[in-house]
Structure 1
Amino acid sequence: MQTLPNSLPAQVTFKGSPEGLRLILPVELPWDEIVLQLQHRLNAGERLWQGGASVVLEVGDRLLDGQQLTALDEALAGQQLHLMRVRTGRRQTAVAAAVAGFSVDQPEKKAPQEGEKSPEVVQVEPLYVQTTLRSGMCLAHPGTIVVVGDVNPGAELIADGDILVWGTLRGMAHAGARGNTRALIFALRLRPTQLRIAERVARAPDEVPAQPQPEVAFIQDNTIHIAVTTEFARRRN
């Protein structure tokens, strides 16, 4: 059985935090060494956790696919640890994590310097995910989020830009999370538990249309309004 030399500093690290146990993977290490170091840390007896603890995986700009994320999840599960959230700067990793059923955080855009564009102008590429978000999942992205699938009750979408759901939105959606009052929330069926745009909060009307139509939520006169997309387009023209 291969073991880590005592002289080699462990670069795969666990750190405690209020949100759970943080597992930090260095970007520069090869995948095989990541696996080796993780096994060493899990079996070394340096227990910073109790069984059943939640884990936030922090990978920076490291690219991970679904199989690698599953391998990490299984290794953690062997020690009764639960991988709940992936924090990544790579869109490909974010998509793989969401499809695998994990919550996703992406770093917020840095505050603009003097002479740069307004913070309401989101310049980050959209996060495109083709999956159904289950209860307990959360996607947070510093640009626009596009979900092809349903967002179930208990799931959350948080975007600095717009939110587009090509399915039924039954969870919570927060667009313009950093104050962009021009952000929009679109869904083929809009049945959310809560809608937020910038600092405004609303929920879907109690009355359900007899014939569902695509709808969009937007801010007008400091209030969130919901309109059928065709009506919204006429208002903007």
Structure 2
Amino acid sequence: MSQGKSLVTIKGTKDGLTFLLDDRCSFEQLEHELKEKLSSNYYKSEKDDPHVYVKVNVGNRYITDSDREKLEQLITSESHLRIDQYESAVVTLKEAKAMEEQAQTVTMVRMIRSGQVVTIKGNVLLIGDVNPGGLLVATGNIYVMGALKGKVHAGSEGNEQAMICAAVMTPTHLQIASTWRNFADQTLEETQMRAAFLNKVENEIVIEKVQGLLDVEFLREKEAVS
């Protein structure tokens, strides 16, 4: 093997191993060095050895399905290693389009009437009402510049940071990610300019004045830093 810079760096972590693959050499060179390193008896396994999970970081290299199959074969063949995930700094066109959809804010001027279901990718600004029996779903935040009297589901693909804001907040049902709160059997006063968010500590949806979102965002930023 060349005495120059190593093309494959293997690091141990509390969760298993991380394989750092050089992104400036050819894939064939990577295969050659990876095969040499994994030929060590250290990576050979006996029948009853537990699996060791591997995170493969390919940096700025685009990995095709064929490349993944080759890496899978090299890493897992005759060893107790199992690939847990791939990390790549490269964003495919499909992924970029999905990210753009999630970040967009769709503006609608309409009423959502009883029996109607409207589903949006990203955030949605509704200039109108959600009537009882109507349902508005978005993968991001939901802003209703009118009366929210029906059902809404924000963060529908699992975004627990999503919020629901309404000029008049009297819903029958609110849902953020997988957590929901039913108001069908409750009598709510017409509260103006309210926001709903997920309190992860209590695992419940909380409704506050819109001004209270400043405190929520401050706490979230603090949690992200820590």
TM-score by length of 2: 0.49
Greater share of helix = 2
TM-score by length of 1: 0.46
